[in-house]
């Protein structure tokens, strides 16, 4: 088993996503699990969304639209057909984001931060997974929030190693290529948590340990 991790700068645009494909074609993609960060400066962009949300700023919707526009451009650069499943999958994440913003009642900044900022990784992995599938590299997209289990300390969660190892070992099919998000995790109540800023490298280490990987490469 090999673990590959691609950071945000590696997938900041369509060319970056195509480079992920190029890397996998050159080095091989048998028994590989790929961890991907949010694209480019998406985490910063979502922090602006969170700021506008708490300040009840009229700029809230425009800040969400900026994130949408950025990801939509990457989709347009990767896929010829705007009716491709990738567009619907990405739009579904934005619908979930907007539902959370409408329905959330918690005043806890750290809780809200994790629920919103995590969409960066959900979007990036969805786009890369759809692209790889489209060019013939069939892969399984998995939600890290159901695999990396932590306590409920938002923005700086500690890993529940026993539960995490059990889930990763039983839920990851090591015979297939798997795509999973870095940085984000989940608690036992089903809430999203995060592992601290720049936590994707830690995620890669968690999966490498739990799967007894022979190597972990930070691309």
pLDDT of residue 78: 98
Q: How confident is the model at residue 70 (pLDDT cuts 50, 70, 90)?
A: very high
Closest CA to 124 of 13, 3, 2, 4: 13
Question: Residue 61 CB: number of other CB atoms within 10 A?
Answer: 13
pLDDT of residue 40: 96
Mean pLDDT, range 184-210, rounded to an integer:
95
Q: How far from 40 is each of 145, 193, 210, CA to CA, in Å?
A: 21, 21, 28
Share of the chain above pLDDT 70, in %: 100
Q: How confident is the model at residue 30 (pLDDT cuts 50, 70, 90)?
A: confident
Furthest-apart CA atoms within the chain: distance in Å: 50
pLDDT of residue 57: 97
pTM of model > 0.85: yes
Helix axes 85-103, 60-78, angle to 10 degrees: 170
Residue 197 has pLDDT above 90, yes or no: no
Mean pLDDT, range 159-168, rounded to an integer:
98
Mean pLDDT, range 93-120, rounded to an integer:
98
Which residue matches tokens 């939600």?
143
Mean pLDDT, range 138-152, rounded to an integer:
97
How far apart (Å, rounded) are the C-alpha atoms in residues 5 and 200? 8
Q: How far from 37 is each of 89, 120, 145, 170, 218, CA to CA, in Å?
A: 18, 8, 14, 24, 11
pLDDT of residue 29: 86
**Could you tell me which residues come within 8 angstroms of residue 197 by beta carbon, excluding any fewer than 6 positions away?**
43
Residue 198 has pLDDT above 90, yes or no: no
Residue 28 has pLDDT above 90, yes or no: no
pLDDT of residue 144: 98
Mean pLDDT, range 5-34, rounded to an integer:
95
Mean pLDDT, range 38-55, rounded to an integer:
97
pLDDT of residue 85: 95
Question: Residue 115 CB: number of other CB atoms within 10 A?
Answer: 22
Q: What is the mean pLDDT of the chain?
A: 96
- For the sheet containing 192-194, what is the strand order? 149-150, 184-187, 192-194
């Amino acid at each position: 088993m090999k673990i590959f991790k691609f950071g945000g700068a590696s997938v900041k645009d369509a060319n970056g996503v195509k480079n992920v494909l190029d890397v996998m074609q050159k080095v091989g993609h048998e028994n590989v699990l790929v961890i991907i960060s949010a694209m480019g400066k998406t985490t910063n962009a979502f922090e602006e969304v969170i700021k506008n949300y708490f300040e009840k700023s009229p700029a809230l919707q425009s800040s969400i639209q900026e994130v949408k526009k950025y990801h939509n451009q990457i989709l347009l650069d990767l896929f010829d057909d705007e009716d491709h499943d990738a567009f619907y999958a990405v739009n579904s994440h934005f619908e979930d984001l907007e539902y959370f913003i409408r329905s959330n009642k918690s005043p806890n900044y750290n809780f809200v931060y994790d629920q919103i900022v995590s969409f960066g990784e959900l979007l990036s992995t969805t786009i890369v997974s759809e692209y790889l599938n489209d060019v013939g590299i069939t892969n399984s997209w998995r939600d890290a929030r159901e695999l990396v289990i932590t306590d409920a300390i938002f923005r700086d969660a500690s890993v529940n190693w026993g539960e995490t190892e059990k889930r990763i070992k039983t839920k990851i099919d090591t015979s297939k290529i798997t795509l999973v998000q870095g940085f984000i995790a989940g608690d036992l109540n089903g809430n999203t948590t995060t592992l601290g800023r720049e936590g994707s490298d830690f995620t890669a280490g968690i999966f490498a340990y739990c799967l007894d990987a022979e190597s972990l490469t930070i691309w």
